[in-house]
């Protein structure tokens, strides 16, 4: 079975540019999560969706970050404008609904803002 | 507030030796507990999970973990470590509230020496 698919795997761009990260969750999963991982701050939850609706975006660092889930099989995380401190690995994860369902992670997008 | 503590940032063990990674949690009720492993350049992979019942749970790759309510601990163990086990290990607890949100520990990096 296909797992969570993220694209691109690597992104290098200059500060000020718009960056769009993409995620395809596992088919049938009701929840989708976006995380950011850095050496300094570890793994941070940015936002999560349930049935395509954002539930909690309290982890989104600034208004420069936005996320959408237009349908059950696709989500985007956008940074506009990007800054060097946004450099990190961004993970998408998905899970079934229900107490204690594990999250399944994609391989991440390594983002470098120059 | 709910939290997860992994006291060891780095651990080095010899190949063939036993391993124990520590995890302590703070949670108001019986938690759902997870261990994930992250190899370099990869996403997080679920090793095992605890919901209820038998406090000793078996996972993939020969790992097991024991839930101890009295100590608020969920330590991960493996009787004989292989060089391929070198990775970062994350303990997580959830759900925290509505939805499947998890709280992750800071991770423990395992190094295996031959």
Residue A31 Cα, gap to closest chain B Cα (Å): 8
* Mean pLDDT along residues A51-77: 95
pLDDT reported for residue B78: 98
Give the C-alpha separation, A113 to A67, whole Å: 19
Q: Do B43 and A108 touch (CB under 8 A)?
A: yes
Q: Is B42 exposed, middle or buried (0-12, 13-18, 19+ CB in 10 A)?
A: middle
Residue A20 Cα, gap to closest chain B Cα (Å): 19
CA angle A84-A87-A89, nearest 5°? 175
Phi/psi for A9 (5° steps) reads: -75, -35
**What digits encode the pLDDT tens for the residues B7-63?**
999 999 999 999 999 999 987 777 889 999 999 989 999 999 998 888 999 999 999
Query: Which positions in chain A touch B106 (Cβ < 8 Å)?
Result: 42
For B31-48, the DSSP string reads PEEEEEEE-TTS-EEEEE
Q: Do B99 and A56 touch (CB under 8 A)?
A: yes
**What digits encode the pLDDT tens for the residues B81-110?**
999 999 999 999 886 555 678 889 999 999
In this structure, are residues A6 and A109 in contact, taking their beta carbons and an 8 Å threshold? yes
Residue A3 Cα, gap to closest chain B Cα (Å): 11
Chain mean pLDDT for chain A: 94
Q: Do A43 and B90 touch (CB under 8 A)?
A: yes
Where residue A42 falls (left for φ over 0; alpha for ψ -120 to 50; beta otherwise) is left
* Alpha carbon distances (Å) from B42 to A44, B20, B24, B57: 16, 23, 25, 24
């Amino acid at each position: 079975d296909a797992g969570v698919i993220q694209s691109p795997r690597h992104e290098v761009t200059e500060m000020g540019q718009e960056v769009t990260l993409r995620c395809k969750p596992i088919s049938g999963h009701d929840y989708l999560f976006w995380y950011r991982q850095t050496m300094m701050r570890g793994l941070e939850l940015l936002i999560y969706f349930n049935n395509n609706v954002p539930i909690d975006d309290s982890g989104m660092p600034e208004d420069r970050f936005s996320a959408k889930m237009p349908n059950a099989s696709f989500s985007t995380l956008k940074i506009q404008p990007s800054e060097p401190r946004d450099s990190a690995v961004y993970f998408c994860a998905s899970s079934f609904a229900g107490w204690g369902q594990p999250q399944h992670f994609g391989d991440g997008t390594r983002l470098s803002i120059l | 507030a709910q939290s997860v503590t992994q006291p060891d940032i780095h651990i080095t063990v010899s190949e063939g030796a036993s391993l124990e990674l520590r995890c302590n949690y703070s949670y108001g009720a019986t938690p759902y507990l997870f261990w994930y492993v992250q190899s370099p350049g990869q996403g997080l992979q679920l090793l095992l999970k605890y919901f209820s019942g038998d406090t000793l749970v078996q996972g993939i790759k020969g790992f097991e973990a024991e839930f101890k309510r009295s100590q608020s601990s969920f330590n991960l163990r493996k009787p004989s470590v292989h060089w391929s086990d070198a990775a970062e290990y994350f303990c997580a607890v959830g759900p925290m509230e509505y939805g499947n949100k998890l709280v992750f520990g800071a991770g423990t990096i395992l190094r295996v020496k031959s």
